[in-house]
A and B are shown apart, each in its own frame.
Chain A
Amino acid sequence: MGAKLRRREAITGYALLAPSLFGVVAFLVLPIFVVLWLAFQDWDLLGPLQFVGLDNFASVLTDAQFGRSLLVTLLFVLLVIPVQTGLGLFAASLLTRGLPGSTVLRTIYVLPWICAPLALGVVWKWIFAPTDGALNALLGFRVEWLSNPDLALPAVAAVTIWSQVGYVTLFFMAGLTSIPDMFLEAARIDGASPWQIFWRIKVPLLRPTTFFVLVTGIISSFQVFDTVYALTPNGGPQGSTDVIAARIYYEAFDSFDLGRASVMALVLLVLLVGVTLLQQLYFRRRITYEQT
């Protein structure tokens, strides 16, 4: 009787799981194996696939253009992450002082984050336009924001920061308001200045929030595509904005070299998993150290 009931429960369980299991296997697990397999093939989307061994790995890993893409992506992450984290923490510390209007301002800051990055990218492409764009009209002189190889990547980074600061702010606000009053009171009684309270008490206590914001920020910045595609298509001036995701896209759907594109995708996967593990390790050690 019990065994029969258990079997019925198991069958119901599998039945409930079936649709999502199909989705997960077909569209998430299987593709990982297919991309691994494609990395060893030569394929141009139309003709037959041909096994080429490690040729794609050899050609991608010695490709100067791919090397530059890695560098551009790293530079992009280094431009975006510190600025958006710093600005987010700053905004959150101003918005958690119980001043009227804080909720409305918070909502305004989050606004760009829910909009299509592609559409926002196109809006900013006009703002940056050299002759009839809004930014040069505001400044009163002409700057080639998107066609100057030195300015293109910072411009793309600025748009990314602009659209993500609100998101970061939101998490720091939640983190700051969850700090128990008693810690701050104790510090005040001990005569700590607001500056000391911020750096010595609030920032260390915010570590879990900081961890979350950094991990999600770095992972999404490593994959940036829509904004770059809208602002500076085809790798930007002299390839200065040719981030990895864009490189993979152009390699696959412009040069029709699916094998090489698959190798690049695998490199990105390894990098991202590596970043996640490293950050886990670093923060776990720091957090436990502080608690003991």
Chain B
Amino acid sequence: MSRRDRPGGRDRPGVLATMAIYTVLLIGAAITLGPFVLSVMTSFKSPGQFAREPALSLPAPFTLENYAQLFGPRVDFSRAVLVTFLVVLVVTAGQIAFSVLAAYAFARMRFPGREALFWVYLATLMVPAIVTLIPLYLLLTESGLRNTFWALVLPFAFGSPYAIFLLCEYFRGIPQELIDAARLDGAGTLVTLVDVVVPLSRPILATLTLITVVTHWNNFLWPLIVTSGEQWRVVTVATANLQSQYNGNWTLVMAATTLAIAPLLILFLIFQRQIVRSISITGFR
């Protein structure tokens, strides 16, 4: 097998060029990873060491006191972590379940007004989040839901037009014979959906779940507006507050950012392949 025939080998460069390419790529990787490494390093330093030594020094001694303070009586992120976790859970469950139902209706059922409604769903994709922010705030305040758990989840939990659109495309590709077979066995629509359609759609459902989790763990502007005080604060809002309250107390603040980033990094390391693929399929955000 000649060099030329190897997969991906058609552009394979010579030794010098290869070294140059690796150098450039590794510089890029260092710039990408640098801020993560530095901030995590700082979160393990004592405030005393941070004040005395240059910013790039290694933690000595290695300390967890910033994290202890983050979950101590004065700052306490534990409630924020719990609230964020619950928000992500409820939003993801609702969004996936209701999007599946809607997508199945659009893909496989016939009813008057189907095309028009699908067009309305698609049109809402053009509306930027910041435009609906003020009316949503008004809506939830008027319903007496401002600064409640429901304010954090309701606007997102009833399904997302984009998820519905992607699922619909996927459902249309499922062979009609499989659905007809379930029907002939006497299965109703919901049973067919749960027993036949959902198991066949695992990849796209995994993709959408990952995307929803990432988006809502990271969500900031909406929680910032619709909650006040500590009761329903999410991690991003708590981090922003901590930064402005303890300005200059960087070891503590870097512990907070590490906490805000770490769960997603872990998720990313486990599902790296799926997430990268998900981004290329959906181009989300």
Tell me, yes or no, whether A binds B.
Answer: yes
Q: How far is the CB of B194 from chain A (nearest CB, A)?
A: 12
Q: How far is the CB of A233 from chain B (nearest CB, A)?
A: 7
Instruction: Report B-chain residues with C-beta under 8 Å of the C-beta of A134.
Output: 35, 38, 55-56
The reply to whether the CB of A75 lies closer than 8 angstroms to some CB of chain B is no
Question: Considering the complex, which residues of chain B in the window 96-146 have a beta carbon less than 8 Å from any beta carbon of chain A?
Answer: 98-99, 101-102, 104-106, 109-112, 114, 117, 120-121, 124, 126-139
Majority SS at the chain B contact face? helix
Instruction: Report B-chain residues with C-beta under 8 Å of the C-beta of A216.
Output: 283
A116 touching B236 by the CB < 8 A rule?
yes
The reply to whether the CB of A157 lies closer than 8 angstroms to some CB of chain B is no
Instruction: Report B-chain residues with C-beta under 8 Å of the C-beta of A109.
Output: 28-29, 32
Q: How far is the CB of B163 from chain A (nearest CB, A)?
A: 9
Question: Could you tell me the distance between the alpha carbons of A13 and B108 in the complex, rounded to whole angstroms?
Answer: 9
Instruction: Report B-chain residues with C-beta under 8 Å of the C-beta of A249.
Output: 221, 225
Question: Could you tell me the distance between the alpha carbons of A225 and B240 in the complex, rounded to whole angstroms?
Answer: 13
Instruction: Report B-chain residues with C-beta under 8 Å of the C-beta of A35.
Output: 131-132, 134-135
B264 touching A9 by the CB < 8 A rule?
no
A259: nearest chain-B partner, CB-CB: B134
The reply to whether the CB of B272 lies closer than 8 angstroms to some CB of chain A is yes
Q: How far is the CB of A242 from chain B (nearest CB, A)?
A: 14
The reply to whether the CB of A27 lies closer than 8 angstroms to some CB of chain B is yes
A21 touching B225 by the CB < 8 A rule?
no
Question: Could you tell me the distance between the alpha carbons of A219 and B127 in the complex, rounded to whole angstroms?
Answer: 11
Question: Could you tell me the distance between the alpha carbons of A111 and B102 in the complex, rounded to whole angstroms?
Answer: 32
The reply to whether the CB of A265 lies closer than 8 angstroms to some CB of chain B is yes
The reply to whether the CB of B12 lies closer than 8 angstroms to some CB of chain A is yes
Instruction: Report B-chain residues with C-beta under 8 Å of the C-beta of A20.
Output: 98-99, 101-102, 121, 158-159, 164
The reply to whether the CB of A30 lies closer than 8 angstroms to some CB of chain B is yes
Q: How far is the CB of A223 from chain B (nearest CB, A)?
A: 5
A17 touching B239 by the CB < 8 A rule?
no
The reply to whether the CB of A60 lies closer than 8 angstroms to some CB of chain B is no
Q: How far is the CB of A132 from chain B (nearest CB, A)?
A: 6
A118 touching B109 by the CB < 8 A rule?
no
Q: How far is the CB of A138 from chain B (nearest CB, A)?
A: 7
* Chain B interface size range: 35 or more
Question: Could you tell me the distance between the alpha carbons of A19 and B161 in the complex, rounded to whole angstroms?
Answer: 12
Contact with B along A29-68 (1 / 0, CB 8 A): 1111011001000000000000000000000000000000
The reply to whether the CB of B85 lies closer than 8 angstroms to some CB of chain A is no
B99 touching A252 by the CB < 8 A rule?
no
The reply to whether the CB of B83 lies closer than 8 angstroms to some CB of chain A is no
Question: Could you tell me the distance between the alpha carbons of A101 and B22 in the complex, rounded to whole angstroms?
Answer: 9
Instruction: Report A-chain residues with C-beta under 8 Å of the C-beta of B25.
Output: 91, 94-95, 105
B22 touching A99 by the CB < 8 A rule?
yes
Contact with A along B15-58 (1 / 0, CB 8 A): 00010011011001101110110110010000000110011100
The reply to whether the CB of B9 lies closer than 8 angstroms to some CB of chain A is yes
The reply to whether the CB of A23 lies closer than 8 angstroms to some CB of chain B is yes
B55 touching A116 by the CB < 8 A rule?
no
Contact with A along B212-243 (1 / 0, CB 8 A): 00100110110001000000000110011001
Question: Considering the complex, which residues of chain A in the window 127-142 have a beta carbon less than 8 Å from any beta carbon of chain B?
Answer: 127, 129, 132-134, 136-138
Known: A107-B272, A120-B35, A126-B39. A9 touches B110 (CB 8 A): yes
Question: Could you tell me the distance between the alpha carbons of A245 and B243 in the complex, rounded to whole angstroms?
Answer: 21
Known: A10-B111, A91-B25, A269-B131. A118 touches B220 (CB 8 A): yes
B11 touching A133 by the CB < 8 A rule?
no
The reply to whether the CB of A117 lies closer than 8 angstroms to some CB of chain B is yes
Beyond known contacts A118-B220, A162-B32: 20 more, CB 8 A cutoff: A6-B110, A9-B109, A12-B105, A19-B98, A19-B158, A20-B102, A20-B158, A24-B158, A27-B136, A34-B139, A112-B32, A116-B217, A122-B257, A123-B36, A129-B248, A132-B248, A181-B10, A265-B133, A268-B128, A273-B126
Closest 4 CB pairs of A and B: A23-B158, A98-B8, A20-B159, A34-B135
Q: 23 pairs across A/B with beta carbons < 8 Å?
A: A10-B111, A13-B110, A19-B159, A24-B120, A27-B156, A28-B132, A31-B131, A35-B134, A38-B138, A91-B28, A96-B8, A98-B8, A115-B261, A119-B236, A119-B256, A126-B39, A132-B55, A134-B56, A136-B55, A170-B276, A174-B280, A219-B128, A268-B128
- List A residues at the B interface (Cβ < 8 Å): 6, 9-10, 12-14, 16-17, 19-24, 26-32, 34-35, 38, 91, 94-99, 101, 105-120, 122-127, 129, 132-134, 136-138, 162, 166-167, 170-171, 174, 181, 184, 194, 212, 216, 219-220, 222-223, 225-226, 229-230, 233, 245, 248-249, 252-253, 258, 261-262, 265-266, 268-269, 272-273, 276
